[in-house]
Amino acid sequence: MKFSAIIVAGGRGERAGGEIPKQYRALAGKPVIAWSVEALKAAGVAEIVAVCAPEHAELCRGATAGSATIVEGGETRTASVRAGLAALSTDSEAILIHDAARPGLDVEMVGALVRALERVAAVAPALAVPDTLRRADAAGRITEDVAREGLMRIQTPQAFRADVLRAAYGALAADASVTDDIAVVRANGSDAQLIAGDAKLMKITYPEDFAMLERMLGGERVVCVGNGVDAHRFGEGEFVTLCGVQIPHNRGLVGHSDADAGWHALVDAILGALGEGDIGAHFPPSDPQWKGADSERFLRHAAKLAANAGARIAHVDVTLLCERPKIGPHREAMRARTAEVLGIPLSRVSVKATTTERMGFLGREEGLAAQATATVERPA
């Protein structure tokens, strides 16, 4: 049976975090959507259409590496599927519709769905609900027991005989919005069947889902450690900024940006763990746009590079070297700011200080320095 596929990739994926939508972020070394594209190609799909938000067309094109026709979607999932159907050629006997945020698709599942269409008009993978169910109100109070017998968690891809799917969408009201495509064909009078789903077809929704799916998909990860060092001399001023916290002092720090030595060292440590060079390569001091810049921008940039690479910042450790100002009273505020910017728990951030026992330029209070270590878990 000749079949085509539509991958719905129009969501913004805000709950999953990251600087780009979840379907384009790296999972075990390649974009989330690429996993489904590769599975469909390996299963023998005749044609793939990927439907995305207009502003993400280039992201989608790059993530699918020329293996899919890119189509701009609508305001709802239903509108996006309509756009995908319009872009498909009309010679396929079957059409699969798949969510881009479900990268656990494999050849076996595609084959099972296509074979099922030899006896039914529509089919979807599903898993039984194993947990006890309760209905609750907005305050979390239980209002009703819900019997779980017969309840199923519906996954994608959902597969359809092409003529049945096109007829169902043709009969659907122009402004209709439904949660999945099985509902569309059932509303038009066609029966649908469920087959055994797969836990790997879970939908990425939250940040922690990436690590869970990587384990399920067998992706190997390695732990990389990066180190960073920075120093700035003292000059005129009334405060210094260290790890995002302004500390009153009788002198300031001299630098092209805000001279936050703690965060500069930490940025270099993260970049080192990622193999991404150093802070000067990303934010050249010769570029006037970085004059006086808040180093939070640099640290967020490093965190974004890590997220886009599918990496997880496991722990950071910053050591500040100076005679003055005293770091102790500000240490917890520094930890909190660093954890906030990196989006990691406070328990995985260490900030400490030491002196050089009055030796060298640090001992003479000509300036201060920082060194940092970042431990990053990333795809092999």
Q: Which two tokens stand for residue 281?
A: 């390569």
Which pLDDT band, with edges at 50, 70 and 90, does 308 fall under? confident
Which pLDDT score, from 0 to 100, does residue 13 have? 57
Which pLDDT band, with edges at 50, 70 and 90, does 285 fall under? confident
Tens of pLDDT, residues 237-276: 999 999 999 999 999 999 989 999 999 999 999 999 999 9
Domain boundaries, the chain: 3-216, 221-379
Q: Residues 307-329: what's their mean pLDDT?
A: 93
Q: Where are the alpha helices (DSSP H) in 159-295?
A: 162-171, 181-187, 208-216, 261-274, 279-282
- In this structure, what DSSP letter does residue 204 have? P
Of residues 192 and 14, the one with the higher pLDDT is 192
- Type of residue at 127: L
Is the Cα dihedral 22, 26, 32, 33 positive or negative?
Answer: positive
Percent of the residues in the chain that have a pLDDT greater than 70, as a whole number: 98
Tens of pLDDT, residues 328-340: 999 999 999 999 9
Which pLDDT band, with edges at 50, 70 and 90, does 282 fall under? very high
Which pLDDT score, from 0 to 100, does residue 28 have? 80
Tens of pLDDT, residues 27-82: 887 899 999 999 999 999 999 999 999 999 999 999 999 999 999 999 999 999 99
Rounded CA separation 167/146 (Å): 35
Q: Which two tokens stand for residue 257?
A: 């940006």
Output helix, strand, coil percentages for the chain, rounded to the nearest 5.
Answer: 35, 30, 35
- Type of residue at 236: E
Which pLDDT band, with edges at 50, 70 and 90, does 15 fall under? low
Q: Are the CB atoms for 1 and 93 separated by under 8 Å?
A: yes
The CATH code belonging to domain 221-379 is 3.30.1330.50
pLDDT at 16 over 70: no
* 3-216 to CATH, choices 3.30.1360.40, 3.40.50.300, 3.90.550.10, 3.30.70.20: 3.90.550.10
pLDDT at 18 over 80: no
Rounded CA separation 23/29 (Å): 13
Which pLDDT band, with edges at 50, 70 and 90, does 354 fall under? very high
Rounded CA separation 105/315 (Å): 32
Which pLDDT score, from 0 to 100, does residue 128 have? 95
pLDDT at 134 over 90: yes
pTM, to two decimals:
0.66
Mean pLDDT of the chain: 93
Rounded CA separation 354/363 (Å): 11
